[in-house]
């Protein structure tokens, strides 16, 4: 009986902590206009994905990497993936078309702003980074390293919709600013 | 929403810019090269990359709408240079860099009208980035203020159905979700709904109409009856000379006397012929 009660208390606490941390991410992204980022990507998606020479390989979606992320790890993984795109993907990608470059720049600068917002959350201890979050991030970096850098950057760019949809899903239900 | 205006050197800002150009450059045409935006990302990671503006690459007017280029809440460097034939000026760079969260929004233009008893507001069209918060209330002590978010631009929006003889006030502010900023509220505009005079006028009109009907209808019926009577069964009016005032026996007696008088008269004529 006592063991059952203790289990229930433990589960309840875990659930409460998960909810608080999940809310943490949502609170962190309150002021973001995600729709604009999605629209910018949709305008270049076809062109980018058409240049992908390794259609059977994925960088973000290995074994449902993102979808297996627990609510507690969402903030940390989001922060890590934003850094992945800002520090590696956008830098490694060579774009000659001014129109596409403009859209990529818009997305890159929006990600910079999101990083700043999440940085504030981390300072308020709302963005905990655990082992599972680190593992998921490492898998994505390993996938990226297995390809030639230009191809890897192009593929990662083409999978932005996966990342944006994942952010949107974890961001759902947040009241408007 | 975001505009860059260039001030040309050696020009009087109050004069027509083209005339000024003629004065300064002795040509009728000034060509401005692309306006480039150097965003924070490029500044941090790719300092050699400047991205041409979507609308002003190139442009011939000294101003540029950079709304589609300023898409993130980060500092933007802008640079522009002039090209005149084969000559190219040095780059002029915006100082300090522009961050869209420094934007100060102004209250929107607003038109408050009443359509019968309906309170209607029409807000100016400021573009797809803008939303409006509209507050309205009945002007009386203790009245509750209602707030409505309006996203339709330039289209009349119904707020409330008003009660007669009441005053309603409306004010609005702009909101841009992309930069998370509000303007201050506009001045409140109030409208009053008139008393319900229509039912009183209607009652009066109905009474007058009823009275008229009470008089006119019987009169009409009577007149029509007379017309019909004269048409179908007219009454003949004899002159006095044809009126028979005596009894029929006396008439017969008088007639016999007349006949005898006529006979006497005939004998007199035969005598005239003998003679």
Report if residue A42 sits inside a domain: yes
Band (pLDDT 50/70/90 cuts) for residue A25 is: low
What was the pLDDT predicted at B28? 24
Q: Which domain holds residue A62?
A: 3-171
Which helix (H) or strand (E) covers residue B192, if one does?
A: strand B189-192
Q: How many CB pairs under 8 A join A and B?
A: 49
CA distance B10 to chain A (A): 34
Residue-wise pLDDT for A114-156, tens only, equals: 888 888 777 777 788 888 889 999 999 999 999 999 999 999 9
pTM of the full predicted structure? 0.63
| Confidence class for position B14, pLDDT limits 50, 70, 90 | very low
A86 or A20, which is more confident: A86
- The domain tally of chain A equals 1
Tokens at residue B248, please? Answer: 């029929």
**Confidence tier at B34 by pLDDT (50, 70, 90):** very low
In a domain, A176, yes or no: no
CA distance B180 to chain A (A): 6
B115-147 per-position pLDDT tens digit: 889 999 999 988 888 899 999 999 999 999 999
Q: How many CA atoms lie within 13 A of A117 on its CB side?
A: 22
Question: What's chain B's average pLDDT?
Answer: 75
Contact A17, A115 (CB under 8 A): no
Per CB-CB distance under 8 Å, the chain A contacts of B41 are 86, 90, 105, 108-109, 112
Residue predicted with more confidence, A133 or B45: A133
Residue found by looking up tokens 């932005």 in the block? A160
Q: Hey, where are the domains in chain B? A: 1-102, 110-192
For A39, phi then psi, to 5°, come to -65, -40
Q: Is A94 on the interface with B (CB under 8 A)?
A: no
Q: Is the dihedral of CA B61, B62, B63, B69 positive or negative?
A: positive
Cβ A114 vs Cβ A29: under 8 Å: yes
Instruction: Please name the fold of domain B110-192.
Output: Immunoglobulin-like (2.60.40)
Asked if residue A50 belongs to a domain, the reply is yes
With respect to residue A46, please indicate whether it lies within any of the assigned structural domains.
yes
In a domain, A177, yes or no: no
CATH, residue A58: 1.20.1250.10
Is A176 an interface residue toward B (CB < 8 Å)?
yes
pLDDT of residue A139: 92
CATH of domain B1-102: 2.60.40
- Is the pLDDT at A20 greater than 60, yes or no? no
Residue A95's pLDDT is 85
Poorest-pLDDT segment among A103-112, B207-216, B249-258: B249-258
pLDDT at B202 over 60: yes
Query: Which candidate in A105, A110, A115, A120 is best for mutational testing of the B interface (most B CBs within 10 A)?
Result: A105
Contacts of B135 (CB under 8 A, 6+ apart): B145, B146, B147, B148, B170, B171, B172, B185
Local confidence band at B101 (pLDDT 50, 70, 90 cut-offs): confident
Q: Least CA distance to B178: which residue of chain A? A: A33
Look at A79-88, B45-54, B168-177, B218-227 and tell me which has the smallest mean pLDDT.
B45-54
Cβ distance A106 to B54 less than 8 Å, yes or no, reads no
Checking if the pLDDT of B24 tops 50, the result is: no
Do A102 and B41 count as a contact with CB atoms less than 8 A apart? no
In a domain, A32, yes or no: yes
């Amino acid at each position: 009986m006592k063991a059952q009660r203790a289990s229930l208390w433990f589960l309840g606490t875990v659930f409460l902590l998960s909810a608080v941390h999940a809310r943490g991410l949502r609170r962190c992204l309150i002021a973001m206009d995600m729709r604009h980022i999605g629209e910018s990507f949709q305008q270049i998606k076809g062109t980018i994905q058409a240049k992908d020479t390794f259609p059977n390989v994925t960088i973000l979606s290995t074994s449902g990497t993102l979808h297996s992320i627990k609510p507690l790890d969402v903030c940390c993984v989001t922060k890590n993936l934003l850094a992945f795109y800002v520090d590696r993907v956008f830098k490694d990608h060579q774009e000659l078309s001014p129109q596409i470059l403009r859209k990529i720049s818009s997305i890159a600068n929006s990600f910079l702003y999101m990083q700043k917002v999440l940085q504030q959350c981390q300072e308020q201890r709302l963005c905990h980074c655990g082992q599972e979050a680190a593992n998921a991030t490492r898998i994505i970096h390993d996938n990226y390293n297995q390809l030639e850098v230009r191809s890897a950057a192009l593929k990662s760019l083409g999978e932005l919709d996966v990342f944006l949809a994942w952010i949107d899903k974890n961001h759902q239900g947040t009241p408007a600013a | 929403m975001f505009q860059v205006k260039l001030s040309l050197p050696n020009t009087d800002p109050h004069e027509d810019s083209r005339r000024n150009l003629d004065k300064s450059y002795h040509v009728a045409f000034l060509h401005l090269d692309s306006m480039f935006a150097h965003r924070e990302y490029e500044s941090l990671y790719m300092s050699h990359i400047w991205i041409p503006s979507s609308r002003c690459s190139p442009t011939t007017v000294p101003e540029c709408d950079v709304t589609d280029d300023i898409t993130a809440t980060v500092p933007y460097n802008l640079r522009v240079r002039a090209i005149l034939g084969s000559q190219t000026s040095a780059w002029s760079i915006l100082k300090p860099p522009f961050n869209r969260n420094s934007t100060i929004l102004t209250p929107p233009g607003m038109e408050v009208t009443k359509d019968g008893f309906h309170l209607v507001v029409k807000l100016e069209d400021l573009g797809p980035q803008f939303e409006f918060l509209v507050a309205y209330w009945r002007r009386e002590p203790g009245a509750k203020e209602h707030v409505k978010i309006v996203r339709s631009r330039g289209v009349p929006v119904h707020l409330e159905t008003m009660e007669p003889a009441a005053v309603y006030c409306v004010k609005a502010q702009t909101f841009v979700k992309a930069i998370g900023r509000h303007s201050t509220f506009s001045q409140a505009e109030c409208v009053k709904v008139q008393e319900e005079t229509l039912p009183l006028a209607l009652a009066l009109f109905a009474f007058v109409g009823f009275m008229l009907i009470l008089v006119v209808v019987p009169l009409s019926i009577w007149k029509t009856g007379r017309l019909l009577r004269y048409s179908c069964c007219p009454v003949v009016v004899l002159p006095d000379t044809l009126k028979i005032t005596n009894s029929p026996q006396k008439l017969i007696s008088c007639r016999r006397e007349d006949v005898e008088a006529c006979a006497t008269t005939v004998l007199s004529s035969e005598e005239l012929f003998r003679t």
